[in-house]
Structure 1
Amino acid sequence: MKFLAASAVAFGLGLFAMTGSQAMPLAPLGATAASDGIIQVYGGCGWGGHRGPYGGCRPLYNCPPGWHPGPYGRKCFRNW
């Protein structure tokens, strides 16, 4: 019976502590993305780049014009 009472008290304290938290408050309705000063830059790599499989920056197009990447982007092949 002691265990049941102690677990009920612990559960009640947990619920009481949870009601006051604000993990994600609502944003005001008048806020816009432009006023925040945030600029999207393709994952931090800049224009013409993207993140590779291990998190490094890679060029978006890694072959010159008239060529296309082969399997896994490791070799360039001429467009015929």
Structure 2
Amino acid sequence: MKFLAASAFAIGLSLAAMTASQAMPLAPLDQAASADTIRVAGGCGPGWHRGPYGGCRPMYNCPPGWHSGPFGRHCFRNW
């Protein structure tokens, strides 16, 4: 009987705590983007992209049949 009362009290307390918490309040959907915000690709800026380890790398366009090498500085022929 004690276990049933204790578990009922714990469940009731947790349900009461869940209804009172507001960890993530809802934001209105009609907010427009701020004019002072500059959009960039992945935080690196125009002409750059994120590499495999999260660093910023320049975007080089190699011709067909070639690929960019380490750090995107040179173009190497595909084998």
TM-score by length of 2: 0.66
Q: Distance in 2 between matches of 1:16 and 1:38?
A: 40
**What are the ranges of 5 or more consecutive residues in structure 2 without an aligned counterpart?**
none
Distance 1:76 1:4, change over 3 A: same
Percent identical residues: 67
RMSD of equivalent CA atoms: 2.7
Give the whole-Å Cα distance in 1 for the aligned partners of 2:7 and 2:37.
47
1:26-65 to 2 correspondence within 5 Å?
Answer: 26-34=26-34, 37-61=36-60, 63=62
* 1:51 partner amino acid: R
Q: How many residues align?
A: 73
Q: Distance in 1 between matches of 2:38 and 2:14?
A: 40
3-state SS of the aligned residue for 1:3?
helix
Q: Which runs of 4+ in 1 moved over 3 A?
A: none
